[in-house]
Every structure is written in structure tokens, then in C-alpha cells.
Amino acid sequence: MARDLFKPFSVYGFGIRVDVPVAHREVTYPWQTVFLGQTTDATTWEHIVRTAHGPVSVIVYGDRDKPALLTYPDLALNHMSCFQGLFFCPEAASLLLHNYCIYHISPPGHELGAAAISPDVPVPSADDLADQIIEVLNYFRLGSVMCMGVTAGAYILALFAIKYRERVRGLILVSPLCKSASWTEWLYNKVMSSLLYFYGMSGLLKEILLHRYFSKEVRGSAEIPESDIVQACRRLLDERQSINVLRFLQAIDGRPDITEGLKRLKCRTLIFVGENSPFHSEALHMMAKLNRRYSALVEVQGCGSMVTEEQPPAMLIPMEYFLVGYGLYRPCQLSDSPRSPLSPSCIAPELLSPQSMGLKLKPIKTRLSPHGKSVHR
């Protein structure tokens, strides 16, 4: 059974380029020279792709001849505030950029420097946001892609995979949603909607969002200051247009339950969930509904929802073994590093068992040791 998880899938047919106007500009970010631990020749471009449901910003980084990895962030975030921690991790950057060209998709109006969306523009549904992704794939002439999303973004990508199964090779989902909003989430969403509508990105709203993203350990307390990643996220939230965040919140709040659709997925799925995430039970429910032959769950101890920022090293070993099933590896010059997941001292014994083929098909609890390595139980 475990072997089926790592049996490579075939690449499905490529889409047709659609004739839609696109604006693009070259953009430079601080992390452009951090990938792979060295300066690269790749150029970062921001494309504004006009879709049937409005424009969508796509940041493209890397060699476009390589397979595509799409990312989609959580509510009120973009790639800078949701995936930067993962790509600042040299081993993760080497693994992903050695094998993929990265396409960071932002929810409408969540890109850097976005203007407020006019109230006259209809609010997209979750289905509309998933349909935007197929238009992005068609524009860039992408075939089947790997997808990585966090919470609300994970839901959009899972919905996309259900609707367009032939266009998704695999899913890496972080603290994902799959059911309709619970009563508790509905109440939180109504509070956030009211705050956004009447007060904008207020201090109280930011506290609610930070509680959604991070564990108590990094949010701090009266005695312990909040961590650098929380402070950075707080600053980035100040840049969001409240009306744009409200529109994405309304789309996610009205999302349909996709549980039945999950049973039809055939692409391999790797789920990470923080032990302290408000959506922990949702991820467990999702895992229970997926085909066990093609899915695995990693539970990260002492972590909130946004594992990509709070504990990105905990993602390294599972991602590496997950991608081995696609014939993808890290560049050999980094594989001998003591911090490498391929270093024997970093591999838990159970990951080497014949049954697991490198990734157990049951929850793996991981946490960070004081020395920055992943500890497995």
C-alpha cells in the first residue's frame, strides 16, 4: 500500500494558451539571492493575469522550463508573509527550486501594493477562485502542476484539484480546510467581517488573525515578547486593503463542503498541520476522507496553522521523501550537509522501514529540537 504513494504518476496533457491580456513587470525581493544559498540568474516577474473573475497577481520565480509549483496563501496574506520562512530555509529552497519553477498566486487584491477593489465588482465565490487558477495555468501553458497551500489557500487548491483532476500532480496542504465553516469559525468570521467593514485592519483584527496563524509560543505574552516572525506578519498585515481581505473572507466563509470530492482524488497528498492550529481537527477529518494509498499526514508539535513560517524545518524530511516518488531530489552538493534530511543522523528509524518507503501513512508528530533539527516520534 505504501509503495503506491510513491509510484510516479504520468504527466497529463498540456492546456491551451488563452488569449487574455496580461500585464507584467520585473520585481526584486530580498529573498531573491537567498534561494539555493547563492545568487541565481533567474528573474522574478509579477504577472497580472486577467481572468473571467477578475485580475490575479502571479509572482514567477525560477526556470520556466522546469515543472510548476503553485502556491496559494491563507486569508490576508501573500507569498511574502506565508511562504517566505520556508524559502528562507536553505535546504527547502534547494529542494524546491532545484526541481520547480515557483508560481506564487495571490488572492485577488492581496498582492504587494494592491489597490482597493471597487465595491461594484462582484465578490467571487470559492469556485470562482478555483476557476481563476485554471486560467492562470492555461495562460502560462502549464500542464499538470504541484500545488502548495495554507489553510484557506489549501482549500482553494484542494477544490481546484477536485474540479480539474488532470491538472494536478500532487498537493502539499498546510493546516487545510475541507468542510463548510463550523459554528465557531462562522462566529469568528462574522466578527472579522464587522471589524474589516467598520474599522479596517484594526489592532483587534490583527490579533484574531495572528491567533489563526501562529501558536501561543511565538505570539508571546506579558512576560515573553512576540517572535520576529509575528512582528513581521503584523507589519505586513498593515499593508492589506481591508475591503480586499473582506472579499476573500466572504468567499471562504461561504465555501461548500468538499469532503465527498476528496474521495475521488487520485493525486498524492501530503498534509501538514500544527498541533495548536485552530483547524487541527479539520486536517484530521480531511486525512480520514482521502485515499490512504495516496496521502500522508504530518502533525507538527508546538506549532500553529502556518507551519511554513513557524517551523519550516519540520517540513523538510517529509517533503523530500514525498517528492522522491516523482523522481525529484535535492542537488547533490547540499545532500552531504549535517542538516540535510538525507543525513542518517537526521532520519528517524521508522522513516527507513520498508513499509513506509520514507513516509509513514499515519500521523507523524514532529517538533524542532533546540539545535534546529526535526525530532520525530
Quick: pLDDT tens for 301-326: 999 999 999 999 999 999 999 999 99
Nearest to 248 by CA among 70, 84, 56: 56
What pLDDT is attached to residue 344?
A: 34
Low-confidence ranges of the chain (pLDDT < 70): 1-43, 332-377
What pLDDT is attached to residue 220?
A: 87
Q: How many CB atoms lie within 10 A of CB 227?
A: 17
92 vs 374: CA distance, rounded Å:
13
3 state DSSP class of 270: strand
What pLDDT is attached to residue 332?
A: 65
Q: Which residues of 325-341 are buried (b: 16+ CB within 10 A; e: fewer)?
A: bbebebeeebeebebbb
Phi-psi domain of 187 (left: phi exceeds 0; alpha: psi -120 through 50; beta: other): alpha
Structural domains in the chain?
A: 2-180+258-376 (3.40.50.1820)
Sign of CA dihedral 360, 361, 362, 368: positive
What pLDDT is attached to residue 42?
A: 56
Phi, psi of 174 (to 5 degrees): -115, 120
What pLDDT is attached to residue 333?
A: 54
Cα separation values, 189 from 78, 109, 311, Å: 19, 19, 26
Give the predicted TM-score (pTM) of the model.
0.82
What pLDDT is attached to residue 43?
A: 67
* Whether the Cβ atoms of residue 356 and residue 2 lie closer than 8 Å to each other: yes
What pLDDT is attached to residue 121?
A: 96
Phi, psi of 161 (to 5 degrees): -65, -35
Grid cell digits, residue 147: 500545488
75 vs 312: CA distance, rounded Å:
19
What pLDDT is attached to residue 371?
A: 42
